[in-house]
Amino acid sequence: MSPLASRWAARVLALAAGVGAALAQPPFGILPGLLGFALILVLIDRADGARPLRAAFLRGWLAGVGYFLVSLFWLTEPFQVNAVQQGWMAPFAVALVTAGMALFWGAAAMAYRVLAPRGVARVLVFAGVFAAIEWLRGHVLTGFPWDLPGEAWKAGSPVSQTASLAGAYGLTWLTLVIASAPAVIREGRKGGAVVACAAGLLAALFIYGAIRLGLAPATAPNAPLLRIVQADVRQESKYDPEIFSSIVQRYVSLTAAPAARTPDIVVWPEGAIPDAMEDYLAPGAWPREAIVKSLKAGQTLILGGYRLADANVDPPVVFNSLAAFRRQGDQLTPIGLYDKFRLVPFGEFLPFDALAGQLGIKTFVHVGDGFTAGPRPKPLRLAGLPTVQPLICYEALYPGFTREGAAASGLRPAWIVNVSNDAWFGATSGPWQHLNMASYRAIEEGLPMVRATPTGVSAVIDAFGRPLASLPEGALGVIDRPLPPALEPTPFSRFGDGPFAVMVAASLAFGRWRRTRP
């Protein structure tokens, strides 16, 4: 094969390796696809020619393109809500985001090529560099930690329980070590030993997880009863004022549906009612009266929506919020409020807003003035009920929010509530991926999670990340389930990403030692 043909074959293989690694993620669950990382390592090692670093970057970037193209193809769906005006943007948005996310993998490939020693120790350097770059992807410019390699294991499975020790980033390092080890299998006895150690590591993770899952406590008999309402309201329907009343009626009728035991807490999703809270919850407004009638005395309603904090300024201050109300007599009394901290770039706010306005980009992306970010997440005290940590929509992608809130407030919550508007994803893999990633926050913290979405997937998730009950995409109904018990604080809830930092530092230090050793 000519050098030119060989280079093109390597590029195609890099793209295919990224696709294979992405197919390991739910809902596909093709775990052998993780071996794509071994192929990526081999291809970067073989990057040669006059500019080997440039070749390594290109192969890493192409692998990233394949990975994120599969992981993020659901990004076309939000543009179909207003397909006439915005549908044409969909392929450009997917291409831009995919290419941008892939830059992280290109940078990781180039850094690995600079730092990697000769010999089998380079597997550890590969895992350390790529895991560190994935951490950066989750933090740079607010971050976007969608489909971390460590979250390829289905939440609630034995291997996923390792996130309770080192979080999703620590599990990413371990996953990359295991998945890339076969790249050195042909390098004599040392290569075989590395593969055997990787297999032993995988077995150890499985055994640890199986033991942990076997220690699950029983639900307390006096645990609060939850009702999650999923009204199956499509995103495009929310912009039709003629069906506003039917949306409200869906939610209140499901809330008031008969039950053997009256739920203590009713949870509606993010953006359940397509109007400002100040309007539909205003005294005398008919939606407020309908909501009050759907609740029984003493019941608590948790819902997501937007609120105008100050409409008298220009631009107005608007928050994406979660609010808790309790019916007391014939009144709906507010008992808790949380404003979303981590907003979606280009969806809820426009980065570099002033510059974008001057360049005319602000009008192009249709974000308007967007939302204002709230304070960093802290637990909510709800009188007479277990303390809860709210997470709105994609805040559930970020490891550590709950532990940071507990540290700042000195109060550990008993559960996590995640209200989300997954209707934006449409009927794609997006809702299932979001469910899996959110469930990792339960594993990391040792806390149960309740997820409410308008179109699915809504679920009650135990502290091990296992869905105990769920409503799939397109389902209309409710989930009535007692709140699962919380576990003792996990190592991750105590130390956060500290163990992960040790893993990365140790692998890079070992690689440097191997490079300098005669």
Total-model pTM: 0.94
What does the DSSP 8-state code read for residue 205? H
425 pLDDT band, cuts 50/70/90, is confident
* CA of residue 233 relative to chain centroid, distance: 22
Check whether residue 197 and residue 333 sit in a common domain. Answer: no
Say if residue 467 is preceded by a cis peptide, omega within 30 of 0.
Answer: no
CB atoms within 10 A of CB 284: 6
pLDDT attached to residue 364: 35
Check whether residue 242 and residue 270 sit in a common domain. Answer: yes
Check whether residue 35 and residue 95 sit in a common domain. Answer: yes
369 pLDDT band, cuts 50/70/90, is low
**Could you tell me if residue 347 is inside a domain?**
no
Quote the radius of gyration of the chain (alpha carbons, Å).
24
- 472-509 pLDDT, tens per residue? 999 999 999 999 999 999 999 999 999 999 999 999 99
**Could you tell me if residue 209 is inside a domain?**
yes
Check whether residue 263 and residue 410 sit in a common domain. Answer: yes
> What letter represents residue 447's amino acid?
L
Burial level of 407, CB count in 10 A (0-12/13-18/19+)?
middle
Task: Find the catalytic residue in 393, 395, 445, 473.
Answer: 393
**Could you tell me if residue 329 is inside a domain?**
yes
151 counts as catalytic: no
CA–CA dist 351, 142 (Å, integer):
10
Q: To the nearest 10°, the Cα dihedral for 37, 40, 46, 51? A: -140
Check whether residue 205 and residue 316 sit in a common domain. Answer: no
296 counts as catalytic: no
Average pLDDT over residues 341-369: 55
Residue with tokens 């929509």: 393
476 three-state secondary structure: coil
Task: Find the catalytic residue in 151, 270, 444, 473.
Answer: 270
CATH of the domain at 473: 3.60.110.10
- 386-424 pLDDT, tens per residue? 999 999 998 999 999 999 999 999 999 999 999 999 888
**Could you tell me if residue 260 is inside a domain?**
yes
- 47, 56 Cβ separation under 8 angstroms: yes
Check whether residue 233 and residue 206 sit in a common domain. Answer: no
pLDDT attached to residue 355: 43
Residue 353 has pLDDT above 90, yes or no: no
Task: Find the catalytic residue in 134, 151, 238, 340.
Answer: 340
Residue with tokens 């280079």: 7
Check whether residue 404 and residue 454 sit in a common domain. Answer: yes
393 counts as catalytic: yes
pLDDT attached to residue 250: 96
pLDDT attached to residue 1: 67
Smallest CA-to-CA distance from 468 within 456, 451, 455, 453 is with: 451
Scanning 120-276, the segments in alpha helix (DSSP H) are: 122-137, 163-180, 188-213, 244-255
How many domains does the chain contain in total? 2
Domain that holds residue 140: 3-214+497-516
**Could you tell me if residue 491 is inside a domain?**
no
Residue 478 makes CB contacts below 8 A (sequence gap 6+) with: 227, 228, 229, 230, 254, 257
Check whether residue 288 and residue 435 sit in a common domain. Answer: yes
- 231-285 pLDDT, tens per residue? 999 887 777 788 999 999 999 999 999 999 999 999 999 999 999 999 999 999 9
CA–CA dist 444, 323 (Å, integer):
25
